[in-house]
């Protein structure tokens, strides 16, 4: 039998929650996002101890779009630079990440072909892939990166990669953007790139391709001198390979599951941030 309601209002033995609901702590949510990126799991499979998966996904997208993750990475780099903890022997390279079938199908804006390019998906023999173009410091920590379709040539993105290097000062002054020395593989051995580096006063060590050597020798004295190449310094370029290896310890980076460019770049930013702190 249901007791009659009191004239004063509803029974106070079972009060209802009023006002705003409980907000999950940002640190807990960020830990849940990192767990998801590390394991490569679906959002729905994130353990309940991190809160609702909808909360995690909503904040991840919000922070990805408003630049929160990028500002966190910039702040971490600025602190390291303030204490002289950045080695400006910069290496550039790229790596391929296979796109999962779930990565396709983002909301289309215009033709489907344009939509793939806008979300950094390229089709090749292996299917849909994404390429990560990256510049790291001498200790193998990311300084700047961008993502394109997997069928994009490395040398065409060289200037854009260097433009992503912007280490803010903790005090007054412009961000630091120029390496002390730059290392790259044969994929960056083009006349345009070497001219760009000389114009900006950036010393570099990039091996000359075999076909370029043959053409230069065939032209004789008109072929000019071979570019300077320091074998011992070039051996230090392996730090960029170690950097890629560390990033791909996150399964959501080694295999792309995100449909949009912004989400995949945010995942790379989070992994890069954890390498700096």
Domain CATH code at residue 161: 3.30.420.10
Strands 89-99 and 255-256, sheet pairing: parallel
Q: What is the pTM of this model?
A: 0.84
Number of domains in the chain: 1
Cβ–Cβ < 8 Å for 134, 248: no
Report pLDDT for 63: 96
pLDDT reported for residue 14: 42
Q: Residue 225 domain-assigned? A: yes
Q: Which of 174-206 are b and which e, b meaning 16 or more Cβ less than 10 Å from the residue's Cβ?
A: eebeebebbbbbebbbbeebeeebeeeeeebbb
Is 3 contained in some domain?
A: no
Report pLDDT for 21.
63
Low-confidence spans in the chain with pLDDT less than 50 = 1-3, 5-17, 19, 111-116
Both tokens of 45, joined, read 């499979």
- The CA distance from 92 to 262, in Å, is 22
Is position 40 within any domain?
A: no
Range of the domain at 195: 86-276
In a domain, 233, yes or no: yes
Q: What distance in Å separates the CA atoms of residue 170 and residue 176, rounded to the nearest whole number? A: 11
Phi, psi angles (nearest 5°) of residue 186: -65, -20
CA 189/CA 203 separation, integer angstroms:
14
Percentage of the chain with pLDDT > 90? Answer: 69
């Amino acid at each position: 039998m249901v007791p009659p309601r009191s004239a004063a209002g509803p029974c106070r033995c079972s009060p209802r929650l009023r006002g705003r609901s409980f907000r999950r702590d940002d640190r807990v949510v960020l830990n849940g996002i990192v767990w998801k990126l590390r394991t490569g799991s679906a959002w729905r499979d994130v353990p309940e101890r991190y809160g609702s998966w909808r909360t995690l996904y909503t904040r991840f997208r919000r922070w990805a779009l408003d630049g929160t993750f990028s500002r966190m990475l910039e702040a971490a780099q600025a602190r390291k630079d303030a204490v002289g903890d950045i080695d400006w022997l910069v290496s550039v390279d790229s790596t391929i990440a296979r796109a999962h079938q779930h990565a396709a199908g983002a909301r289309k804006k215009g033709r489907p072909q344009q939509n793939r390019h806008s979300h950094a998906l390229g089709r090749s023999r292996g299917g849909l892939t994404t390429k990560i173009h990256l510049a790291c410091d001498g200790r193998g920590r990311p300084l700047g990166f961008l993502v394109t379709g997997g069928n994009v040539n490395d040398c065409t993105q060289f200037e854009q990669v260097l433009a992503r290097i912007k280490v803010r000062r903790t005090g007054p002054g412009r961000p630091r953007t120029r390496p002390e020395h730059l290392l790259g593989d044969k994929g960056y051995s083009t006349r345009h790139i070497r001219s760009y580096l000389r114009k900006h006063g950036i010393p570099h060590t990039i091996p000359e391709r075999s076909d370029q050597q043959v053409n230069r020798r065939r032209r004789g004295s008109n072929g000019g001198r071979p570019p300077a190449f320091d074998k011992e310094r070039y051996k230090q370029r392996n730090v960029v390979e170690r950097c890629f290896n560390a990033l791909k310890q996150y399964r959501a980076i080694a295999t792309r599951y995100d449909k949009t460019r912004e989400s995949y770049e945010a995942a790379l930013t989070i992994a890069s941030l954890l390498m700096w702190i």
